[in-house]
Chains A and B, each alone.
Chain A
Amino acid sequence: MKKQYLIVLIIAGLLTIFNACQKGTAYKALIVTGQNNHSWKTSSPILQQLLEQTGLFTADIAKSPEKGGNMDSFNPDFSKYSVVVIDYNGDSWSEKTKTAFVDYVNNGGGVVIYHAGDNTFPEWKEFNAMIGLGGWGNRNEKDGPYMYFRHDSLIVDNSAGIGGAHGKRHEFEIRARNTEHPVIKGLPQRWIHGADELYARLRGPGKNMEILATAFSDTAKGGTGRDEPILMTLSYGKGRIFHTTLGHADDDGGPALECVGFITTFQRGAEWAASGKVTQKIPYDFPTMTGSSLRPDYKELTLEGDLAKIAAYDITKSTKYFSDLQSRIRYEAKTTAEYQAFEKQIIKVLESADATDDGKKLLIREISWMGSDLSIPVLQELVKKSQLKDAAEFALARLQPVK
């Protein structure tokens, strides 16, 4: 039985690769990094992996000289790319590189500003027009107003003060402000983000900018008591910019990067910046207002993985793999054949001697509505087991109604 699982997993893996190859990568991305007050050596390869796992991107990494190094030698050819990701907070680029970057965006190049990417280049006017809002680097009222929400209205606040702040890292609720924008269309209205720095007091020109999502910066966590901008889109010339303040990276990654909310908005924002549209599906493990959702290895859950976890489920464990299975059935199954494809996989677990009774109980509930006659024999067997009798009777009563 275990061998069979392994074969299924290998086939699933091959299919994934095959699909990726078949689709072809539509866009080339460049991640600019090399200097940062955050752990760029960790974050940049993760961002690369996240872009490539969409199947839409191939991603290169352009590493700058170390801090204090000769920046004249740093001349990436931006024009080869559809989107440039700024995972950089460091020394100013050369005038030549700056000009090349502005030309790239003016000509329609896409940009993703990632987390501390909005800290860098306080002196560079064009860059600040692209990011809309920034923080730190002695930013203050000379750089533009504070922008935030209060009572659901956007406040443009010209008062004096430094730009950029965050309280202690914590989980916080993100609230969609424009649910029609392609980057966040279809996401929940509110979701809990993995523990992260909640950027606040950002200020800048804020022109040609749309705030897609905010988060309440709680004074109890050292915040401002305002709804601070978290996700933004901007236009500059013909270029599109997606700005996410999320995703603080420690040396070993951390929950802000592992958060499915960060991952999904980053992937969607990058596609939008590259193309002006978003074709990616909302993943089943997207967080909700009831709690965050993390991917410890940054990879999306698979059906086979879900079933393996459910087969090992006991009542002390997470039910997220079962929720994931339910979502798959709800959104993927439309025809009888598609329902039965799920049902056959479920039956295999129900028949397995290795799978736990607790795991089987979850699956029996699901099969009670979406199953068919195919499930009757195994349910009739499970009725004989005292631990599963009630659940199996429940499912049989639904699948074999008394006329």
Chain B
Amino acid sequence: MFDKSTRRDFLKRSATVATGALILPQIIPSTALGMGGKLPPSDRIVMGGIGVGSQGTSNMRDFLELKNQVQFVAVCDVDANHATRAKGIADKANNNTDCRIYGDYRELLEKEKLDAVSIALPDHWHGLIYTAAANKKLDVYGEKPICRTIKDGQTIVSAVQKNKIIWQTGSWQRSQSNFHHAVELVRNGRIGKIKYIEVGLPNGNKGIGTPPVKEVPAELNWEMWLGPALKVPYRGVSHWDWRWILDYSGGQLTDWAGHHIDIANWGAELERTGPVEISGEGVYPRDGIFNVPVEYDFLCKYSNGINMRVANSAKLVHGGGATWYGENGWINVDRGRIGASDPKILQEVIGPNEIQIYKSDNHWQNFIDCVRSRKEAIAPIEVAFRAISVALLGEIAMTTGQKIQWDPVKEEIIGNPMASRLLSRPYRQPWSLPTI
């Protein structure tokens, strides 16, 4: 058995052998490590999956598609059916029946010898579990949004930095060519200096009223599902639909911030700062247990003069995605499309002496490559935190009906103790967020 650090050094050495000398400092060809699936089992990254519902198993499959670069040896879920299904996926790939099942992430982290974890949980659990994984010095592929509150996010960022782990956020649009192309055009001034940005995120959910309280199914540990959130009765709403309830999510706004706000920030070089003033309005459901805003529209002002409007897509001319407006035109990018004020802009080729932005063709491969090389992944924790911060500050402006002043350096709301309370959500005992 390797201990952690020696195993990691070994992985790093084998990566260097496999890829030869790296020419571009941040870029590893995604094909370099695949090698036709020829890596011996000892070179594979040993992973665990925490939260293996729909997104968690989807990520597992994406890792396993990388052909023998990864093996999952343990999975954890508060729903025994999820865990059993995920074990089936892992066992099939491993050609054995050895994948361990856990219902409590603390036990998995304590008992398993892993290189990395893939984590996909409702947002209210992110603060605790991302921090715990980082403190175990495990590299993390973690789903966006990376936090439910600013305070959770600050704690996670500190834990990732302090433990020097490799972090990849599930903001996979960064590894798609149309988004990369749009960002590179914007960064190279093809529409001139950026003045204004619009980010269109999906329109809100439908309501379901107030479903009756139900008996918790035998496979589900409801107490553990709730974790640090306030105790509420089980109404048959947990998986997937948690994203329509404010205790666990901010709705489409926070769910998609890690995609289109992240891309907008990337293009406009706002990915390591934040707005200074945020104001706007939301439309909230009038009744029922789903209570996230169904329409939202807020404006963020940045100290460099750029304004960013974030709204549900039906409110915007270009609909969904990120739209940068520069002195000489606009570029819009969304899933499956890219557009510009002048289509010729999109034909532009970025020359060798121009700005080359980080390139990844496969988001999961990029994470594995970085686990081996110890280089920063394409969606590191700091930029993920800045993307979700925009949405969380918008949420605070809409919740309070107030204009919020934000210090993006100190990461504090200025002169508004009332709004500042919404920067955190106290945890229900016995849970508490550690101080890093």
Contact = CB atoms under 8 A, between A and B. Distances in A.
Interface of A: 188-190, 285-291, 293, 315-320, 323-324, 326-327, 329-331, 333, 339, 361, 365, 368-370, 390-391, 393-394, 397-399, 401
B54 interface: no
Interface of B: 203-207, 209-210, 212-213, 230-231, 233, 283-291, 294-295, 312, 314-315, 399-401, 418-419, 421-422, 424-426, 428-429
A319 B205 contact: no
B318 to A, nearest CB: 14
A318 B288 CA distance: 6
Contact of A390 (B290, B400, B425, B429): B429
B284 A319 contact: no
Given A189-B314, A288-B294, A289-B294, A323 B286 contact: yes
Given A316-B210, A323-B286, A323-B287, A290 B422 contact: no
A289 B418 contact: no
> Which 6 A-B residue pairs are closest in the complex by CB-CB distance?
A290-B207, A397-B426, A290-B285, A330-B401, A320-B287, A291-B207
A291 B209 contact: yes
B399 A330 contact: yes
A290 B204 contact: yes
Contacts of B421: 368-369, 398-399, 401
A369 B422 contact: yes
A289 B286 contact: no
Given A323-B284, A331-B401, A368-B421, A188 B206 contact: no
Contacts of B401: 329-331, 333
10 contacts: A188-B294, A289-B203, A290-B207, A315-B233, A317-B210, A361-B230, A365-B230, A369-B400, A370-B400, A393-B429
B426 A287 contact: no
Given A288-B283, A319-B289, A320-B287, A394 B422 contact: no
Nearest to A395: B426
Contacts of A369: 399-400, 418-419, 421-422
Nearest to A187: B283
A122 to B, nearest CB: 37
Contacts of B426: 393-394, 397-398
A394 B230 contact: yes
A289 B295 contact: yes
Contacts of B400: 330, 369-370
A289 B206 contact: yes
Contacts of A399: 421
Contacts of A287: 286
A290 B244 CA distance: 11
Given A317-B210, A390-B428, A291 B287 contact: yes
A339 B288 contact: no
B206 A327 contact: no
Contacts of A368: 421
Given A323-B286, A323-B287, 16 more contacts: A189-B295, A190-B314, A288-B286, A289-B294, A291-B207, A316-B212, A319-B210, A323-B284, A361-B230, A369-B419, A369-B421, A390-B429, A394-B425, A397-B426, A398-B426, A399-B421
B34 to A, nearest CB: 44
Nearest to B244: A290
Nearest to B425: A394
Contacts of B207: 288, 290-291
B214 to A, nearest CB: 12
A320 B285 CA distance: 9
Contacts of A286: 286
B285 A323 contact: yes
A189 B429 CA distance: 41
Contacts of A188: 283, 294-295
A361 B232 CA distance: 10
A293 B286 contact: yes
A401 B135 CA distance: 25
A272 to B, nearest CB: 22
A380 B224 CA distance: 27
A289 B287 contact: no
A288 B295 contact: yes
Contact of A290 (B233, B290, B425, B428): B290
Contacts of B289: 319
Contacts of B418: 339, 369-370
Nearest to A291: B207
A320 B286 contact: yes
Given A330-B399, A369-B400, A290 B288 contact: yes
B284 A288 contact: yes
Contacts of A190: 203, 295, 314
Contacts of A333: 401
A339 B314 CA distance: 33
Contacts of A393: 426, 428-429
Contact of B213 (A315, A324, A394): A315
A262 to B, nearest CB: 15
Contacts of A288: 204, 207, 283-286, 294-295
B288 A189 contact: no
Contacts of A397: 426
A390 B230 contact: yes
Most buried by A among B231, B294, B312, B314: B294
Given A390-B230, A393-B429, A399-B421, A318 B314 contact: no
A291 B284 contact: no
Contact of B287 (A293, A330, A331, A391): A293
Contacts of B399: 330, 369
A15 to B, nearest CB: 23
Contacts of B425: 394
B315 A189 contact: yes
Most buried by A among B283, B312, B424: B283
B168 to A, nearest CB: 32
Nearest to A399: B421
Nearest to A361: B230
Contacts of B231: 390
Contacts of A324: 286
A76 B308 CA distance: 56
B295 A318 contact: no
A146 to B, nearest CB: 25
Contacts of B203: 190, 289
